[in-house]
Structure 1
Amino acid sequence: MKLDLIEPNAHYDMAHGKPAVLEYDNDGSWLYRLNIEPEMGIPEGQQEETQIGWKCYEVRGYNKATKENVKKVVIRSVIDETAEFDLVNSYNKHVLGIAVNESAVEEYKEYLQFTEDLDAVLIEDLSN
């Protein structure tokens, strides 16, 4: 569940240019873009790979774009509440000796690292 492993779900061409990390829409919502990277390809009629646009992971939120709200929207787009609850419960059951599950510890540590990494990115992205 690493941040850099989240698959891009939005693509922008060169005419649009590099998308903003945080963009407000006319309906009061906002778009937050994570992992903005050049998208490479071979344009029709050419033989060499070149940048054809930008790719990123994009989420939309409707409440105020605070760090906490953006974090919640990103997390919920990656893991829903039921899956998160199962992850925490599996970890707790293992730690308390109710149901031994070594993988629950690693999965929960991975999730916690994901939230820490997301915090660091959001602090940087939303302070600019």
Structure 2
Amino acid sequence: FFGNQDQKGKLTFYDAFPTSPPKIEVDIMNPHYADYYQGKTPPLDTLSPTPIPFLTVSGCDFQFLIGSRKEDYFNGTIGENREEKSITDWLYSALTTQGIGAKTAVGYGYMKQSNHRADGQ
């Protein structure tokens, strides 16, 4: 489905945008063995944590847009030798079970379904 140098992909995934004002918060990563990870020392109890602040987004809905040259991908199902689902089902499954972004291992990037829909359904 992603195409190659000779053929365009069948789907276009656009940026996701918040549909309501997001809540921006600060969280921290706190690696305890920065010198060890950089190959400078063994992992010693005498090493100090290095707090690294980063921003998080919560408390808002996002709109995910997907483009396709064929309407069938939205109304029908796709899948070859796999479970056949609609594009909406595939996207929902990926966002709720796999998550997106770099910090899914610690719980960030997972979406949950909202009752608010831009198309009114």
Q: Same fold (TM over 0.5)?
A: no
TM-score, length-scaled by structure 1: 0.30
Looking at CA atoms only, which structure, 1 or 2, has the larger radius of gyration?
2
TM-score, length-scaled by structure 2: 0.31
| Higher normalized helix content (fraction of residues) | 1
| Higher normalized strand content (fraction of residues) | 1
